[in-house]
Amino acid sequence: MTKVRNVGGKITETTKGNDNSFAKENITYNSQKKISFTSDKGIKHGKPETLPPPELPSKCKVEFRPSKSWQGEFGFDWCRIGDSQLPVDKPYSDIVGKYGAIYATSPSAVFTIKPELYQRHLAEYEKFVLSAFGTYYVPNLSLMKGEIAVLDAAIEIKENPDSMYYKYDKTVFEVKILEKLSNTKGKHFNDKVLEIKCLKEFSSKQKIELIATKNKIDNKIGQINVLPNNKVKEIDILFIPVEHNGSSGTIKGKEITILTNALKQAYVKGNIVRHKEKIKVGGWWYDLFFTKKDDKGVVSMETSNIRSIHRALDDVFFKEKDNEIYKNHYRVYMLTNSTSLNGMAEDIGKNAKVVVVYNNRNDSTAPHELMHAMGLYHTFDNDGLFTYKFQNTDNIMDYTHQVGKDRFSTNTWQWKILN
Ligand SMILES: [Zn+2]
């Protein structure tokens, strides 16, 4: 947009507050006489501040959230403010911070909210300003070709629009309106309002905008950003049953689905296979690890020497020459019960490819351990890029299953590590 102003005489502008100018390109002053800058506190040169987000005069706002039946089938990461109908949805302003020296899982751990880290978290989202409501943080959606996302809407209306419509590239998405959005004054929560189907791969960020029209003037009142989905990483994962003492580990109910979904969120395609043959361990192996007896004489695994179990199992597995084809697979060794563990990755990132899981695990343990191997720390770990309060997210890398809630989500910054 261009604005030109020609004045015959003199221009004087006065303000009692600050007067800020921002430009994406150049600012040029031309004079055929003198240019003067005067100041009581000095004239500063330096790095420019970032451009403030655009401000829109819209009188309605629509925030998009995953529907409450969402189990991570698509990636959706937004600045959480607790306005969805999901079972776990705490405002990030209350749960982004750091732990002290005692690890988060200990009852005596101390968590401190860190507003500066919350501000850094907000930078994960594009933003614009709705002058009637404040800053709007745009959610990040990851959606592979052929996949579908179903969303709810949290709506706030100060002045009824005449109409609303979605603006997006119709060659990339098919957007089905499942429910007409409420358009009367006040706050509303609308269930399953739209279904977005991704029709193809694309290489630059796509916007799906919601526009309200009032007196023939269009204003944006909501937005979703869909991240480029043309770089899908493929990984191979092998689940290997391990038998000892007559019993072996098995695949858990929903774990393959949870794993497939969680990887999809990061645009990773998991080729997941269950190894047909059980590998048998016993004798020396059993003697090495299964050394603990309870008061009834039942033997179980002693976990103090746990790290070497990954190497020990790999040694047994690769003794069979035919198994060499799995050298670059992620390998999930499924064992029977353990006394104190659900599972454990060999390492966090650093090319770790082996995880061990026990039959007493839950359906999200194997995805959790594999994502450790792929480089993710716990969400409550101080070593991660962000630290969230223990058991307050539905993230795969949290321990929310311990309080009876499902964990299935991942965030934009984790997608970057996984892909
Ligand atoms: Zn863990």
So where are the chain's domains?
55-78+125-226, 233-375
Q: For residue 233, how far is its CA from the centre of ligand 1 (angstroms)?
A: 23
Whole-number Å distance, alpha carbon 370 to ligand 1 midpoint, is 9
Give residue 285's pLDDT band: very low, low, confident or very high (50, 70, 90): low
In the predicted model, what is the mean pLDDT of residues 300-328? 84
Taking 80 as the threshold, does the pLDDT of residue 5 lie above it? no
Distance 345 CA to ligand 1 centre (A): 8
* CA 365, 368, 374, 379 torsion-angle sign: negative
Q: How far is the centre of ligand 1, averaged over its atoms, from the C-alpha of 348 (Å)?
A: 9
> Which stretch of 6-20, 176-190, 191-205 has the lowest confidence by average pLDDT?
6-20
* Model confidence pLDDT, tens digit, residues 344-388: 999 898 889 999 999 999 999 999 999 999 999 999 999 999 999
Left, alpha or beta for 364 (phi > 0: left; psi -120 to 50: alpha)? alpha
Relative to beta strand 247-248, strand 233-244 is antiparallel
Q: Phi/psi class of residue 267: alpha, beta or left (left: φ > 0; alpha: ψ in -120 to 50)?
A: left
Q: How far is the CA of 249 from the centre of ligand 1 (A)?
A: 19
In contact, 124 and 110? CB cutoff 8 Å: no
Q: Which of 151, 153, 157, 156 is nearest to 226 (CA)?
A: 151
CA nearest neighbour of 19 among 47, 46, 39, 45: 39
Spacing, Cα 170 to ligand 1 middle (Å): 41
- What pLDDT is stored for residue 184 in this prediction? 93
Q: How far is the CA of 284 from the centre of ligand 1 (A)?
A: 28
Question: For residue 16, how many other CB atoms are within 10 A of its CB?
Answer: 4
**Own/partner pairs, 133-137, CB within 8 angstroms, 24+ separation:** 133/61, 135/53, 136/61, 136/63, 136/222, 136/223, 137/78, 137/79
> How would residue 238 be classed by pLDDT, with cut points 50, 70 and 90?
very high
Residue 105 CA to ligand 1 centre (angstroms): 11
Name the residue type at position 167. K
Q: How far is the CA of 184 from the centre of ligand 1 (A)?
A: 46
What's the Cα-to-Cα distance from 121 to each of 10, 14, 79, 175, 230, rounded to whole Å? 46, 37, 8, 29, 25
List Cβ<8 Å contacts ≥24 apart for 203-210.
203/228, 203/230, 204/228, 206/168, 206/169, 206/172, 206/173, 207/167, 207/168, 208/166, 208/167, 208/168, 208/173, 208/175, 209/166, 209/167, 209/168, 210/62, 210/164, 210/165, 210/166, 210/167, 210/181
What is the rounded average pLDDT of the residues 403-412? 96
Asked if residue 225 lies in contact with residue 179, where contact means CB atoms within 8 angstroms, the answer is no
Q: How far does the centroid of ligand 1 lie from the alpha carbon of residue 403, in Å?
A: 16
Summarize the confidence of residues 293-307 as an average pLDDT: 74
Give the Å distance between the CA of 397 and the centre of ligand 1: 6
Instruction: Tally helices (H) and strands (E) across the chain.
Output: 7, 23
The string of pLDDT tens digits covering residues 190-219 is 999 999 999 999 999 999 999 999 999 999
Q: Report CA(114)–ligand 1 centroid distance (Å).
A: 23
CA of 365 to the centre of ligand 1 (A): 8
- Asked whether the predicted pLDDT for residue 392 surpasses 70, the reply is yes
Residue 1 has pLDDT above 60, yes or no: no
**Arithmetic mean of pLDDT, 265-285:** 88
**Mean pLDDT for the chain?**
91
Mean pLDDT of the 322-335 span: 96
Predicted TM-score (pTM) of this structure? 0.84
Q: Could you give the CA distance from residue 191 to residue 179 in angstroms, rounded to a whole number?
A: 8
Band of residue 45 on the pLDDT scale cut at 50, 70, 90: confident
- Identify the residue with better confidence: 312 or 147: 147
**Tell me, what's the pLDDT at 83?**
95
Measured in angstroms, how far is the CA atom of residue 342 from the centroid of ligand 1? 9
What's the 292 CA to ligand 1 centre distance in angstroms?
A: 23
Report the percent of the chain where pLDDT is more than 70: 95
pLDDT of residue 286: 64
Q: What residue type is assigned to position 1 of the chain?
A: M
What CATH code would you report for 55-78+125-226?
2.60.40
State the pLDDT at residue 324.
96
**pLDDT(163) > 90:** yes
For ligand 1, the distance from its centroid to the CA atom of residue 369, given in whole angstroms, is 6
Distance 260 CA to ligand 1 centre (A): 18
- List residues bridging with 406 in a β-sheet: none
Task: Specify the pLDDT at position 84.
Answer: 95
- Between 40 and 274, where is the model more confident? 274
CA dihedral 294, 306, 391, 225 (to 10 degrees): -150
Q: What residue has token string 């977005």?
A: 196
Q: How far is the CA of 367 from the centre of ligand 1 (A)?
A: 10
Taking the centre of ligand 1 as the mean of its atom positions, its distance from the CA of residue 396, in whole angstroms, is: 9
The pLDDT score that the predictor gives to residue 305 is 58
Whether pLDDT at 26 is above 90: no
Query: Which pLDDT band holds residue 290 (cuts at 50, 70, 90)?
Result: confident
Instruction: Please name the fold of domain 233-375.
Output: Collagenase (Catalytic Domain) (3.40.390)
Distance 391 CA to ligand 1 centre (A): 13
260 burial type by CB count under 10 A (0-12 exposed, 13-18 middle, 19+ buried): middle
Residue 405 scores a pLDDT above 70: yes
Q: Which of 47-56, 68-77, 384-393 has the lowest mean pLDDT?
A: 47-56
Residue 399 Cα to ligand 1 middle (Å): 8
Q: How many CB atoms lie within 10 A of CB 369?
A: 23
On whether the CB atoms of residues 174 and 197 are closer than 8 A, the answer is yes
